[in-house]
Structure 1
Amino acid sequence: MKLFNWFSEEKKDYPEFWLTYIEGFKSKFNEDIKNTRFIAFDTETTGFDFNEDRVLSIGAVSFIDKKIEVNKSLEIYIQQDVFNPETVKIHGLLKNSKVEKLSELEALKAFLAYIKNDVLVAHHANFDRKMIDKMLERHGLGKLRNKFIDTGHLYKKSVHQIYKDDDLPYSLDELAKELNVPLVDRHTATGDALITALVFLKTLARLDKRKHLNWGYLLPK
């Protein structure tokens, strides 16, 4: 059934950037963790309602073998059809700010071109994934295909705490404090993506010492 759905999706009249994105998942998954490109990313949103709220900005940083490619980071600000002044205190973006903003569709193109088929890392990853999926849905596209790692869930595993679906994972601030990660540019998408990357790498170092650095441990079941 999955093969049929994949074939059917390719036959639809999708834009080239989406076809290029899904084409990347036909290649074999890289089993070598040290040579895997990870993407830590974060979204700043107008709120927490997947249907009503919108993504204001997306920040992402990539890293391979513990080396963060800061000069290759991604920072996207998205045009908003409706300006809600109540959200200014949350995201710090003003309606008439001079920062360059992309349409939602152009933002998706840039984001997918950046992440390719690489492994995504986020804190409260389910929220960020659903917000991006809703953006894709509004433009008649499918869902993200990438593998996801949630830093909160992974940290709990690293300290042998059982995670349940109804548990609240650690906040990013709590994890940064636990792992001595500086809170630089907190509550900006790119700043939070960088903090998430550092939290993830420090957790990986802990797992490596315990011989738990493998995909079976990293990826949710």
Structure 2
Amino acid sequence: MRMPVHRVFRWPMGLLLMVSATACVADDFLDLRAVKPVQGDAARGETLAATCGACHGPGGNAVIPTFPKLAGQKVGYLYWKLVQFKREGRQESPMTALVSPLSDADMRDLAAYFASSKSVAPTAAPKPSTGATLFRDGAAERGIPPCQACHGDHGEGIDIAGEPQYAVYPRLQGQQPAYLTQRLTEFRDGKRRFTSSEQVMSGVARSLSDEDIRAVSDWLPYAQ
């Protein structure tokens, strides 16, 4: 029986996580390797989400290319991203002012709402891309692991009982190409290393060329 790829790569990725997280000594660093399940009140979250639609679209289905889609995203990922924005306090980010007044309960409820919201599939035709091969198989000769090891065969996400870190690895399927390109480039350039997950992605993305990033970003919105 062929062993699933995410099982094959579990230990090397875990080792990379420990090394990277240990190397980061910032007081506000978030270690997400053993977080507890996140629960919230989705109905209450909907009442708090009115202003979110301006950037993230109705129900979290973003139409602005550089903003992430929140609909159908993992609740754990959404909650911890809000916590991250609140702790980082990046002045250049509009999220800083928006999350500042939110309580922990507010963030959990917002995460629960967007996680429960239905994700609308892209309607545009996919671009020809080699991204599927790179995403699923990686490129061992260049030190690039398969993305599906943490994000699922089609970017739909992975949930494994007893391994809480997978709860904060985001679903990528259906995201906008421009947003994915922006995020992967930031990881490659070492601009986002605030959490243990970002430390891992920074290491992985370091081997990606501009062409690799565009290929993966063009394929993921339409991955089936």
After TM superposition, is the score higher than 0.5?
Answer: no
Give the structure-1-normalised TM-score.
0.29
What is the TM-score normalised by the length of structure 2?
A: 0.29
Bigger-Rg structure (1/2): 1
Considering fraction of residues, name the structure with more helix.
2
1 or 2 for the larger relative contact order (CA 8 Å, sep ≥6)?
2
